[in-house]
Structure 1
Amino acid sequence: MRSLTLPIQAGRMMITTRREELALEDCLAGATRQNPKRHYLFVSKVLGKHWPVRPRVMRDVHRRLAEKMAHLPGPLLVIGMAETATALGRGVAEEAALQTGRDDILYLQTTRCRLSRPLAFGFDECHSHAPDHAVYLPDPALQPLFRAARTLVLVDDEISTGRTLAELARACLRLNPGIEQIALVCITHWLSVTQQQQLTALLERPLLFPALIEGSFQFEPDPRFPAPVLPWVIGHPNRSHDDIATDSARTGLIAGRWRTNSLSQWESVRARGRKDQPLAIIGTGEYAYTPFRMALALEEQGYDVRYQSTTRSPILVGDAIACRREFLDNYGDGIPNYLYNLDPVRLPVIVYEHPAMLAAHSLADDLGGLAVAVEESCRAS
């Protein structure tokens, strides 16, 4: 057990760890949200979101967490939390399938995209700047596996109170009352024993808490810090995303069937860049796992690669955030998006899930980089 303090603009984050499978300093730093609901933010150094990370480091995290839940009774329903933990959630599901060879792991992710298909359930993330989440029913061929799930695995980057995951679990249990146990999987969890017991009683199922770092924290606000104001958002709340939201993770897939031999767009990146040129492979919002695998494949072929992704989360520059780019989202919703801590010496490669975004979104040109769309050619399940 050890204690440390992370000073940020909005105050101090005081942390006590009970267990560290990976060193805390290697996994996270602190930052200040541009959000009056919650001022502090844990910035993960291994997630591939706000902080550039080596792809092999990300995969090591996926493998470590997968080892902690791959043995659970199946079928397993694994749900990754949008937008931050979509690559993490699918990575854990894929690695669990690879480690065991099992074919009963169904992966879904929550989404803020609006699709014209049956909704399984929706719920809110109370502290978020963008609270509405949706989970869509899987394609008909996968619905028997969805409804037969015995274990529910919810994946997020960190758990501070457990309220959001509890809301998701309760919504899922109303649809699938036959679920026998639940695992809340994360990189860092800050729940006390009492909080874990309260969640177990609330959900009326055995609960597991697989994590790499366990502990507790307190945030001490600085009374001199002015409360930040959320960015002004107009947006298009009723816009449909059917024509461009092609990632099958939103509609269900069986983990372990990923294949990489059809990702021909890698050749485009190789042809347009030098092998000795450092690369920044950049996913876009919820669409994070395929760009991560692209970055991992390039790294395995000898390229100097870092991976990160754009986000809807507004964070103030300072603390763990060295720089910030702001632009409108690539889905045409008029939502401000951000890219943090981009290394200026690396060639940015923006990875979209639909080719229409290449012409409609100017981020690559603004950054002096490249843009590719790969999802159409790599859907494997």
Structure 2
Amino acid sequence: MKEKTLQTCLQRKHTYNIKNDLSVTINITKNPYQIPMEKLFLMAARKNKKRGFLFVSKLLGKHIPVLPQLSLLIGWAMAEQYMKEVYKKDLFKSQSLKKALMNAVDCVSIYDDLKEKQFHLPEPVLFIGFAETATALGHAVFDCFSKDATYIHTTRENILGLNSLIYFEEEHSHATSHHFYPLNNELLASKAPVVLIDDEITTGKTAINIIEAIQKTYPRKEYAVLSILDWRNSQDRKRYDALEEKLGIKVHTISLVSGEIEVEGKPIVDEENTSVQKTIDKPIDSEINMYKCQENGSFFKTLLFSSKDAQGKINTCPYLKETGRFGITSKDRESTDLTCKKIGKILEKKRKGQKTLCVGTGEFMYIPMKIASYMGEGIRYQSTTRSPIYAYDSPDYGAKNTFAFESIDDPSVMNYLYNIPYEHYDALFLFLERAVTKERLDPLLKVLKTLGIAYITIVICIEENYTEKPSEMGSYNKEEVTFLLKDISNIMQERETKEREEAIQSGVHYSEMLPIEYKPSSEYIDLFQESLKESAKKLATAVGIVAEKIIKNRGKNTIIVSLARAGTPIGILIKRYIAYKYDLQFPHYSISIIRGKGMDENAIKYILKNHPDKAIQFVDGWTGKGAITKVLEKACSAFEEKYGIHLNDDLAVLADPGYCVSTFGTREDFLIASACLNSTVSGLVSRTVHRKDLIGPNDFHGAKYYKELGDADVSNLFIDTITKEFSVVEEAISEALQKGERSTAPTWVGLKDIEKMQEKFKINNINLIKPGIGETTRVLLRRVPWKILIKENKNPNLKHILLLAKEKNVPVEIYPDMTYQCCGLIKPLKEKKI
């Protein structure tokens, strides 16, 4: 290809004869950094009938290998132009940037100097980079601001469980659809300016499409379109003027170089790609190594999203928060830089030889580029791309060779590498954001082995945390529930009730001990049988009501996640009702949640991995004062902060006498028979345990499986008895749902009563007050009760409470000023007088 300069002295007009009869003439109208065109790009023929040519950037680190610092400095140049043109601020960095752009040798020292001198935005600004080519470019611009900046890039990934807040098309692209997945859309929903960043604007239609999409839902007054190259003609620019007038907005258009282009000839169609794999005549046996960042420390923050490719295959490996695909802010900038520096220094020690090529993959460009900038001298960086270009071995052509392979993310999509001469590099580092299967990696690895590079290192930035398979435990049918618990049956001993009570009140966490599980006495069995007989229809009705609410609120693509162990039988009953009524089989898992320690995150991650496209519905038996409700709310918030996944913390319970939740079967305070017998009505599973010497970082929380109590097990009897009533109570369920509650919103009236009670009885620790029939029953069975408060003496639901209190010689007092029917008070053992 030959470049013909028509106005040599000004270098304003250039003609590029690309291939065959295809040529492009550009007329430069603005070039504030006075960058020679040969420093900016080469031209190539594109396999695209819409637009048959491509400006192959020498700055982006996509098709052509670059010094990583040079690519990062382009972000600085664009950020400076933005500050000049929008905020009229002269930041006096132009001379340094010009020097770096003119002479790549100087860019390393100049970048090292500039990166500590960020610009200061006068207002919050949202920066958006376009996938896939401008993901790193947008990030590099964002990285130039010390505060008040938010960055997100569009993506071609199909993320399960998230809706794209904005959907738009890139009209001339080979891959047109963009998705937009901000985890926090606060800035998008505000009036803050939006800055759209791309490497090149030809007609500007893509930017117009996204501006219209944003303005439709999140209107604002100001936008900017920031690019390296801007080739819009007068008609295109008028289109922007019309857009401003139509929407009542201001759109700043800012670029490093602007002008107009004229195209002659037609796009090349179906020409044989003669330079594909031209360099593999002398293959060598490359040494392949693997470096997994997670094995050497927790470098990156993970976001537990899953993706689905065009073939429907789901990848459950997490994403990195730091990429910007889901949004990052200025607060993330320093930690990201520090992480990349740490990894870069580790990888520098793994280099062999003088010349090293670092390769990013697809949209995953900025993090590898940043890491590469810390790997020492002799580094070049580029990335795989979706962009198909004809190869042509000519000095001034933009793709001298090309290598095609199936994408590691989606085998239905072809990816490419360009411009890698045979035996030019001593070592290559391939960066993967997410771990992939050998089958997915092999096509790319096969290409890398043909490049004449002796040492190849695959750098995996994040992989799945592989939690052990859940222990097979519990006496329930395996189809009805999976306990996500570690079986600690043979490694933990129970403690006597009094000893355990003293330890708890001395500061030992209750989850670090277990009470002794006795075989139920005949009196307890009789109590259970009588209670079950009396309340089976009431329980079945409550199950049906709460199950119908779950279907209405959460839909049919839902997972039941019960809170072990009181929630386990209720979860099974809800699952059975939904199967009975709707012929649907909801997956059901039972997990641990512990006051003071939170929810078992490994269990949630296991569920999300196996059911990435389903909504989680948490289920428990009943509410007391709402302690677990608050623990769940806090745990879900912490999980979202840590992993990016929003979990609906609406807890569904059978009975809500404390008015703590909005999804419930009833608010009546009555005995749920499963509260009577501990493990023998809960699948023979203990309370859950979390002790550091027993539970490792990748373990589920623990529990014991009391197989030895099998003869006394009535877990399935309880479930079966209530299930038989479903057909009988259908009308009652329907009537209750039609009648409804005046308000289902939590009022926490129960907790308010407890706080008054705490003051009246001078109990310092509110956790020593256990309200409601269910919790009071448990106090009498497993704690050291001080006294029992009852609302009235004639309530038939209190018969077993009075029986247990008499048996254990616990005083009973009438206390009418409470929502609950009864309340158990635990004696503060260290207090001499109450």
Normalising by structure 2, report the TM-score.
Answer: 0.41
Once the two structures are superposed, the pairs formed by residues 1-381 of structure 1 within 5 Å of their partners are 2-10=12-20, 11-20=22-31, 21=33, 22-70=35-83, 71=87, 74-95=123-144, 97=145, 101-102=146-147, 104-116=148-160, 117-136=162-181, 138-139=182-183, 142-177=184-219, 179-203=220-244, 204=247, 205-221=249-265, 226-228=268-270, 236=310, 238-241=312-315, 243-247=317-321, 248-255=323-330, 257-258=332-333, 259-263=336-340, 265-266=343-344, 269-274=347-352, 276-298=353-375, 302-318=376-392, 319-344=397-422, 345-346=424-425, 347-356=427-436, 360-362=440-442, 363-364=444-445, 366-368=447-449, 369-374=456-461
* Aligned mates of 2:125, 2:191 — CA distance in 1: 6
* Aligned mates of 1:365, 1:228 — CA distance in 2: 25
Secondary structure of the 1:60 match is helix
Distance 1:358 1:106, change over 3 A: farther
Shift, 1:375, TM fit: 5.3
Distance 1:56 1:226, change over 3 A: closer
Query: Greater strand share, 1 or 2?
Result: 1
CA deviation map 1:4-40 (0-9, x unaligned): 1111115111011012222211001110011222111
Q: Give the structure 1 partner of residue 90 of structure 2.
A: none
CA deviation map 1:112-136 (0-9, x unaligned): 1011212202111122221111111
Unaligned runs of 5+ in 1: none
* Aligned mates of 2:77, 2:463 — CA distance in 1: 30
Distance 1:76 1:360, change over 3 A: same
Contact persistence 1:265–1:374 (CA under 8 A): no
Q: Relative contact order (alpha carbons < 8 A, sep ≥ 6): 1 or 2 greater? A: 1
Contact persistence 1:35–1:229 (CA under 8 A): no
Q: Give the structure 1 partner of residue 786 of structure 2.
A: none
Structure 1 or 2, whichever has the larger Rg, is 2
Distance 1:228 1:175, change over 3 A: farther
| Higher mean displacement: 244-253 or 121-130 | 244-253
Q: Give the structure 1 partner of residue 768 of structure 2.
A: none
Contact persistence 2:16–2:24 (CA under 8 A): yes
Secondary structure of the 2:136 match is helix
CA deviation map 1:127-164 (0-9, x unaligned): 2221111111x22xx32223114211000000010001
Contact persistence 1:124–1:164 (CA under 8 A): yes
Contact persistence 1:283–1:350 (CA under 8 A): yes
Shift, 1:251, TM fit: 1.1
Distance 1:221 1:326, change over 3 A: same
Shift, 1:257, TM fit: 2.4
CA deviation map 1:240-286 (0-9, x unaligned): 45535435512111136233333454355334323x42111111001
Distance 1:18 1:237, change over 3 A: farther
Shift, 1:191, TM fit: 1.8
CA deviation map 1:273-311 (0-9, x unaligned): 23x42111111001111011011112xxx3211111000
* Aligned mates of 1:289, 1:244 — CA distance in 2: 18
* Aligned mates of 1:48, 1:380 — CA distance in 2: 30
* Aligned mates of 2:399, 2:349 — CA distance in 1: 32
Contact persistence 1:113–1:240 (CA under 8 A): no
Normalising by structure 1, report the TM-score.
Answer: 0.87
Q: Displaced runs of 4+ in structure 1, greater than 6 A?
A: none
Aligned residue pairs: how many?
A: 362
* Aligned mates of 1:260, 1:107 — CA distance in 2: 15
Secondary structure of the 2:132 match is coil
What is the RMSD computed on CA atoms of the aligned residues?
A: 2.7
Secondary structure of the 1:78 match is strand
Contact persistence 2:136–2:366 (CA under 8 A): yes
Query: Greater helix share, 1 or 2?
Result: 2
Contact persistence 1:7–1:13 (CA under 8 A): yes
Distance 1:12 1:332, change over 3 A: closer
* Aligned mates of 2:51, 2:177 — CA distance in 1: 17
Shift, 1:380, TM fit: 12
Identity across the alignment (%): 29
| Higher mean displacement: 34-43 or 255-264 | 255-264
* Aligned mates of 2:215, 2:369 — CA distance in 1: 31
* Aligned mates of 1:105, 1:237 — CA distance in 2: 37
Amino acid across the alignment from 1:372: V
* Aligned mates of 2:50, 2:168 — CA distance in 1: 18
Shift, 1:229, TM fit: 7.9
